[in-house]
Amino acid sequence: MTEGICNDLSGNGMLLTMDQKLPLGSELLVTLCPENGQRPTLQAKCTIARLQQAGGDKCLLGLEILEVLSEADSTQVA
């Protein structure tokens, strides 16, 4: 599991800041958990559409949301 910070979220994508660079075109299962611990969390299958160096060892990942998953679906996706 890799962690990052969601900088921006829209209806069809999100921008993440991460310490790790991942390959362009990779598919990810993303779980967004609000800092205040409220539910529900957002789980989505995404693909990396854009990469950008963010200074230091940070990387910006532009993700396209392929599918928003319900809680029942998330237990079946690896």
Residue 46 pLDDT: 97
Residue 67 pLDDT: 95
CA atoms in the 13 A half-sphere facing the CB of 17 = 8
CA 55 – CA 65 distance, rounded (Å): 25
How many domains are there within the chain?
1
61: domain range?
A: 4-74
Low-confidence ranges of the chain (pLDDT < 50): 72-78
Residue 70 pLDDT: 67
pTM for this model (two decimals): 0.79
CA 53 – CA 29 distance, rounded (Å): 22
Residue 75 pLDDT: 43
